[in-house]
Chains A and B, each alone.
Chain A
Amino acid sequence: MRELSFIRAENEAVYEEMERDPSIFVIGENVRTFGTEAIFSRLLQKFGPERVRDTAISEQAILGATIGSAATGMRPIAALGIDDFLGVCGDELLNQLQMRYMFGGKIKLPLTITTNCGAGRGLAAQHSKSLYGWLMAIKGLKIVAPSTAYDAKGLLKSAIREDNPVVFLTHTALGRSTSQIPDEEYTIPLGKADIKREGKDVTVVTLANMVHIALATAAKLQERGISIEIIDPRTVVPLDKQAILDSVRKTGRLVILTEEPITGSFAAEVAAIVAEEAFDFLDAPIKRVCAPDTPVPFSPALEKFWLPDEARLIKAIDDIM
């Protein structure tokens, strides 16, 4: 066991998979030139320039070439910077990733997209999104959003091995967070939620950095005699619906906490699923604790207001107890 940072754990995942499978290569902007803490560090030295490819700023060509090479025998990893930039290759995501379905299942696209997400560092409206909701609308795409270094390594290995398009989101607030990482190889399957904290009064479904907000809040609430159960889906698509429904059947109350504007959010989708499939078990309305329906503001005073926090989570829970 060793304590590793989130980014270092991701780097180990990519390194191990590239060692094991020569059809894997990395393609994107600045993949060769990051420092020691980066997800793609060490790769150029170990695997050489053929398998670690820097490109011009050209997201359409990058993701298009990723799709074309995945359809013809390779297993590419496309480094697409920050998820705000995914709009630049919107067609590749929205229309070209549908290739397997449109071709009647005649090809597979074993590709991974790695990208950063998240607000809280004053990077303003074009560098701060967490696009869980928008990405869910893309059919044929799996979505992974881990909250710990341990989860990140296991899930990234699975994402790379997955024979389908996967977008792997690294929240920038988590980069230096650490976990104990086993020495032996391990993977975590996509579509399996993790109960980050067991509880009996309220189910809190939450993702990425918000998991840690929920954990900090749990301690405070415990002092007041409220026990929250924290479900971390870890993958948005495929979603571990069963884990969420089982928890709500136990607690009877649901709050969804995510760092995304509330409308059209992943939180909204979870709320709809639970309202449809566990209505009889609910003792209170479902609450979504999300950001407001605005772009991300720059000023720290405003960004703080924009981000969901412990106080907003506590208020939502108080409202339904």
Chain B
Amino acid sequence: MEIAGPRLIDMFKTMVRIRTFEERVSKEFGAGKLPGIVHLYIGEEAVATGACANLRSDDYITSTHRGHGHLIAKGGKTDRMMAELYGKKTGYCDGKGGSMHIADPDIGILGANGIVGAGIAIAGGAGLSAKMRGTDSVAVCFFGDGASGTCRFHEGVNMASHWKLPVIYVIENNQYAISTRSREVRNIDNLADRSAAYGIPGVTVDGNDVVAVYEAVGEAVARARRGQGPSIVECLTYRWHGHTEGDPQTYKPKDEMEEWLKKDPILIFRKRLAELGVLAEHEADKIQQGMLDELERAVKFAEESPFPAPEETLNNVFA
């Protein structure tokens, strides 16, 4: 597939934006500025980016507890996201949700989610709604290797398959469900092989190759828009930081970590773009510096924003 230069550069920008955001969050979290916990997406940028590069603003995504990457790739703004992590009124959820519940329904972001697998059933509903309303919108459902073992995976994919719902299940297989090696708690190798149980297409790709993700999800999105129903795209990747920030990851073998750190999706893509003559190294540097500046502004915005008033605890339970 021939991908236009501007599209490739956009994807690079998105990956860098995600990485810069997460590294800044890590810094502020380490300095004790953020309440609660965060689950960082560092290392997995190519999956969210490649998948969401196929989507329009009227398409939907459901996300996970490790959702900052999905949110940014779908169009979330770093200042409002940061403000939400700080618990400020100017955050996406008015400070009511935090990292695990950031949402922007106006651009189809149906939320990060703190319960493993919950987005699978919700994405089915978004797909059902899109279909019943006669639109060709699709729902990309992000979840991990851990979620693929839940009841909701079976029930949700079964439902989407028999109603041919426009849902694309993007399995981010980073090989660990918190501290458990997920290959040790299942019998099969490739999670995408489970697609056979539902009679839908399933493919496994290198999740650190943003173009491979873009193309595989792109085919699945096209199928869904044509009314041909759901697909599974399993993306093999790796998370660099712990399950939650601060987790020392003693359960990971050191050589495994080092192997995957060498496969940095951003460096790989940057090198490829330079070789293709699409983005010179100095221009890539400019983009990276630009993202650092953007995050500086985002943190300033978050720090200077007010907290919500205490009484806001009581509002918006019901419409």
Contact = CB atoms under 8 A, between A and B. Distances in A.
Interface in B46-91: 60, 62, 91
Interface residues of B, number: 47
Given A60-B151, A64-B124, A108 B93 contact: no
Interface in A55-77: 55-56, 58, 60-74, 76
A72 B60 CA distance: 9
Contacts of B115: 91, 95-96
A250 interface: no
Contacts of A73: 129, 133
B105 interface: yes
A104 B312 CA distance: 9
Given A92-B121, A99-B111, A69 B97 contact: no
Interface string A123-153: 0000000000000000110100000000000
A102 B111 contact: yes
A6 interface: no
B121 A68 contact: yes
B105 A107 contact: yes
Interface stretch (B19-27, B154-162, B181-189, B269-277): B154-162
A70 B125 contact: yes
Nearest to A142: B318
B250 interface: no
A50 interface: yes
A24 B103 CA distance: 25
Nearest to A72: B129
B139 to A, nearest CB: 8
A56 B121 CA distance: 13
B159 A65 contact: yes
B92 interface: yes
B156 A69 contact: no
A25 interface: yes
B241 interface: no
Contacts of B93: 102-104, 106
Given A69-B128, A73-B133, A101 B103 contact: no
A64 B318 contact: no
A26 B158 CA distance: 18
A56 B155 contact: yes
Nearest to A76: B125
B218 interface: no
A116 B276 CA distance: 64
A164 interface: yes
A163 interface: yes
Given A58-B155, A60-B155, A99-B111, A69 B125 contact: yes
Contact of B121 (A65, A74, A101): A65
A281 B130 CA distance: 56
A100 B316 CA distance: 7
A130 B124 CA distance: 30
B152 A61 contact: yes
Contacts of B31: none
B159 A101 contact: no
Interface of A: 25, 50, 53, 55-56, 58, 60-74, 76, 91-92, 95-96, 99-110, 139-140, 142, 163-164
Given A60-B155, A92-B121, A106-B106, 18 more contacts: A53-B163, A60-B151, A61-B155, A64-B120, A65-B121, A65-B125, A71-B126, A72-B125, A92-B118, A100-B317, A103-B103, A106-B104, A106-B105, A107-B103, A108-B319, A140-B317, A140-B318, A163-B319
24 contacts: A50-B132, A56-B155, A61-B155, A64-B122, A64-B124, A66-B125, A67-B121, A68-B62, A68-B121, A68-B125, A68-B128, A69-B132, A72-B110, A74-B132, A74-B133, A92-B118, A96-B122, A102-B97, A103-B92, A103-B96, A104-B92, A106-B103, A107-B105, A109-B319
Interface of B: 60, 62, 91-97, 101, 103-106, 110-111, 113-115, 118, 120-130, 132-133, 139, 151-152, 155-156, 158-159, 162-163, 315-319
